[in-house]
Structure 1
Amino acid sequence: MHVGIITPRYPPNTKGGGEVSTELLAKKLADSDRISSVAVMSFDGDGTETRDGITIQRLGSISNVLTEWQNLRAYPKLRNRVDEFDLIHAYNMELHPIVGALSGRTKPATVGTLNSYHFFPRSVTMDSPGPLEWLYEMIGHPTTGRLLEYFVRQMDAHIAISEAVRDLYVEFGYSSEKIKVVPNMIDPAFEVRRDIGTDDKDGTTEVLYVGELSVQKGVRFLIDAIAALPSAYRATIVGDGDQRTTLEQQVRALGVENRVTFQGQVPYEEVSSKYGLADVFVHPGIWPEPFGRTILEAMQAGLPVVCTDIGGPADIVRNPELRCEPGDHEALAASIRYASENGATIGERNQRYVENEYSPATVVSEIIDLYERLLDGERV
């Protein structure tokens, strides 16, 4: 089977966890004896290279401002290339419409991973649109936006990376019969420590957050939770975003400057050291986030993980004591305390859990099974 992966960006060009997941998928497909070849087509530069057994074709740059224009620009670059593949897998959403538009030919079959809510109204992501985005929300989304979404639906199948994603897409009218839930996989190359517990670190509990500093990530509730906990609890916040100044002001207003540290953006290859110094990982989001790669990483590092009971993260964190209502800092504080007091046991269980349920062997096998069913003319 010859597989082509279409994505706006491919490492080393990254925007977030989606590109990391794309590279992992490509590598593991290329390693499988059920796949003959893998090629990636991206729009983040020029040139062709072969790396890790994968042909990477960078087909020039296209606008990342307007999705309609992105897809129009991508069409002539893709239409004469896709027929060389048995199956096309679209990743990272922006170019899903053009892949859907290329569906319906004798060849290839098409699959799109649903790893964001790119074509949904901003109300779904709890994002505050800027002036141009507000204009698109009012004019583009009800018109050309609907056309884009129509083409996304034309793909032969969709992979939802969590049950929460599947449920939301079905709610918006996508066919449940075309959606298969397959989570993201852990990165086996991610360096982890296996000796992390709740050993005494001068009597402190180190709480870690890794991610964007935006409203929907709910970091303000983590800061409130730290302020509500005893002084032995400290938080390290890794990441950056438009809310950083506001969050720093909140820290000063609560008088917890000596207990909350902002470390800014950290390169992906250096993040593992942050997990190694932590006792508890917290994901305090207040929106239905599609997944949560940082949660997998924290579990690989042997950490107990606390999250809010919404979206994809709640699919991963199964222990109800470690989930709480979004926006409830007192419940978040109680879950952090529980995680700290039971850290060693929970951390060891988390390592075993993600290594079994989210291993590349398990995840890629499910994806290839789906490919083969589609090529045999079967349903998802």
Structure 2
Amino acid sequence: MKIVIVNSLYTPHIIGGAEISTQILAETLTAAAEVHVLTVGPQRKHAGTETEVINGVNVHRLPYNNLYWIGEGGGAGTLKKTVRRLIDLYNPVQIRTVRGLLDRIGPDLIHTQNLSGLGAAIWTAAKPDVPIVHTLRDYSLLSPVSSPISNPALARTYQASSRGVSKRVAAAVGISSHILRRHTDAGLFPNAARLVIPNVVDGEIAGQAKDFDRKPLRLGYFGRIEPEKGVRELAEAVLALPREVVERVVICGEGGFREKLAELCGGDDRFQFTGKVTPKEARAFMGQVDVTFVPSIWEEPFGRVIIESYQVGTPVYASEVGGIPDAVWNPGSYLFKPGSAEAIKAKILEYHALTGEEKRRVQAECLKHCGGFTKASLLEKHLGLYAGLAKQSGRAFALAAADGR
């Protein structure tokens, strides 16, 4: 079986979780199929498509054929970003390039991911009898700028275009029930099967030893330091609590709000700002704290940091927004109202009141919860989906056993 995966960027060009998740999917599928990735590279049109093999995956980098390459778009203003994404709505040069590659590869199935730099209209480049799966990892099909949507009129225009070409998609996969619902409620994917397959969070599941009976608490925050991530509310909650309850708060990450957050914390030496760290270093910090807080205000598509924290045996309290509830163990107890310092304060006190034995049981449940976010689970769910689509389309292809290569 030949599978073509399509994503805006691919390793070593990584700007977020979508690139990491796409790479994990592609490499995991090599156990069962011949895998090709179509992505956008930094080269201009005259350089043509560049091809290489990375960890068994055939990677084809198309020229960006637009105002700029999204891998270098960090300094682009809102207007330039908007125009680039409007070009994505129908970019005939990119569609023609994709069609040529697909004709050459001859895939049995196409699985698209984030499409910035390519455009959803590339779905029309596939032959009619080739099933298309699309995984929703962000909100870029709903708005050319960001989410929450700040320009309703522009978003409606963008959604109308996405809605039309999405009729070609045979299956829509959400990395959370929330992100899938947001798109189907907007009328996208009217002909598609719909299901949720969460991201894999690659890492060893091994809870680190903790002194569960020790108090006060050590808290952790891991992510961008921006207002929409709710880190201000976390700081306000801690500032309202004595040292007998909270001993330390590790703020792990960088962002435009860091200086203001440091000012808010004033001279409170309980706050430890680590700055930007490697994934390995972040994992070590996660293992050292008693509990992680994910206080996001905006609609997170998924909650990767939640599973990462569970993998080292550290429980998580998180805001009830976006795709976060799908990732949290025991959401009835470990979710709180977004944007509320008082709600965070109540959860800190709640965990502080647990006995050491209760905390041990919580850790055990968190470690068990990680089993639904492994590569084995990812492979099983995708092969089942692909096999079902093959039967519907009447196409015959063989899926190798996962351990057969």
Normalised to the residue count of structure 1, the TM-score between the two structures is: 0.86
CA, structure 1 residues 228+152, in 2 after alignment: closer, same or farther (shift >3 Å)? farther
1:16 Cα deviation (Å)? Answer: 1.0
**Aligned mate of 1:220, from 232, 240, 246:** 232
Report what 1:344 is aligned to. 360
Report what 1:371 is aligned to. 386
Report what 2:31 is aligned to. 31
Distance 1:150 1:264 in 2: 44
Unaligned runs of 5+ in 1: 130-136
CA, structure 1 residues 122+102, in 2 after alignment: closer, same or farther (shift >3 Å)? closer
Report what 1:134 is aligned to. none
Aligned CA-pair RMSD:
2.6
**Aligned mate of 1:57, from 57, 60, 75:** 60
Within-5 A mapping of 1:1-380: 1-32=1-32, 35=33, 37-45=34-42, 47-62=50-65, 63=68, 64=70, 65=81, 66-70=84-88, 72=91, 73-83=93-103, 84-94=106-116, 95=118, 97-103=120-126, 105-121=127-143, 125-126=147-148, 137=151, 140-143=154-157, 146-174=160-188, 175=190, 178-187=193-202, 190-191=203-204, 193-199=206-212, 203-231=215-243, 232-233=245-246, 234-252=248-266, 255-256=267-268, 258-319=269-330, 320-340=332-352, 341=354, 342-355=358-371, 357-377=372-392
CA, structure 1 residues 153+198, in 2 after alignment: closer, same or farther (shift >3 Å)? farther
Give, as a single letter, the amino acid of the residue that structure 2 aligns with 1:278: V
1:82 Cα deviation (Å)? Answer: 1.7
Distance 1:15 1:363 in 2: 22
Give, as a single letter, the amino acid of the residue that structure 1 aligns with 2:318: C
Q: Larger C-alpha radius of gyration, 1 or 2?
A: 2
Instruction: Tell me, yes or no, if the aligned pair for 1:3 and 1:38 is still in contact at 8 Å.
Output: yes
1:139 Cα deviation (Å)? Answer: 6.5
Q: Helix, strand or coil: the match of 2:120?
A: helix
1:121 Cα deviation (Å)? Answer: 4.6
Instruction: Tell me, yes or no, if the aligned pair for 1:50 and 1:56 is still in contact at 8 Å.
Output: yes
Give, as a single letter, the amino acid of the residue that structure 1 aligns with 2:54: R
Instruction: Tell me, yes or no, if the aligned pair for 2:336 and 2:343 is still in contact at 8 Å.
Output: yes
CA, structure 1 residues 378+219, in 2 after alignment: closer, same or farther (shift >3 Å)? farther
Count of residue pairs brought into register by the alignment = 360
Q: Helix, strand or coil: the match of 1:3?
A: strand
Give, as a single letter, the amino acid of the residue that structure 2 aligns with 1:277: Q
1:180 Cα deviation (Å)? Answer: 1.2
1:161 Cα deviation (Å)? Answer: 0.8
Distance 1:121 1:56 in 2: 28
Distance 1:171 1:337 in 2: 38
Instruction: Tell me, yes or no, if the aligned pair for 1:217 and 1:284 is still in contact at 8 Å.
Output: yes
Instruction: Tell me, yes or no, if the aligned pair for 1:162 and 1:291 is still in contact at 8 Å.
Output: yes
Normalised to the residue count of structure 2, the TM-score between the two structures is: 0.81
Distance 1:26 1:198 in 2: 40
Please list the CA deviations of residues 238-297 of structure 1 after superposition, one character each: whole Å capped at 9, or x if unmatched.
Answer: 222232233222222xx53x1122222223343222212221111101232111111111
Distance 1:269 1:153 in 2: 42
Range with bigger deviation, 145-154 or 290-299: 145-154
Please list the CA deviations of residues 86-140 of structure 1 after superposition, one character each: whole Å capped at 9, or x if unmatched.
Answer: 111111242451332235x23421111111111335998347x6xxxxxxx3764
Distance 2:229 2:297 in 1: 6
Distance 1:195 1:370 in 2: 36
Distance 1:55 1:194 in 2: 36
Instruction: Tell me, yes or no, if the aligned pair for 2:317 and 2:347 is still in contact at 8 Å.
Output: yes
1:333 Cα deviation (Å)? Answer: 2.0
Instruction: Tell me, yes or no, if the aligned pair for 2:94 and 2:122 is still in contact at 8 Å.
Output: no
Range with bigger deviation, 49-58 or 169-178: 169-178
Instruction: Tell me, yes or no, if the aligned pair for 1:87 and 1:107 is still in contact at 8 Å.
Output: no
Unaligned runs of 5+ in 2: 44-49, 71-80, 395-405
Q: Helix, strand or coil: the match of 1:79?
A: helix
Instruction: Tell me, yes or no, if the aligned pair for 1:191 and 1:272 is still in contact at 8 Å.
Output: no
Q: Helix, strand or coil: the match of 2:251?
A: strand
Q: Between the two proteins, what is the percent identity of the paired residues?
A: 27
Distance 1:99 1:364 in 2: 25
CA, structure 1 residues 361+74, in 2 after alignment: closer, same or farther (shift >3 Å)? same
Distance 2:187 2:15 in 1: 28
Q: Helix, strand or coil: the match of 1:31?
A: coil
Distance 1:210 1:9 in 2: 24
Distance 1:90 1:159 in 2: 10
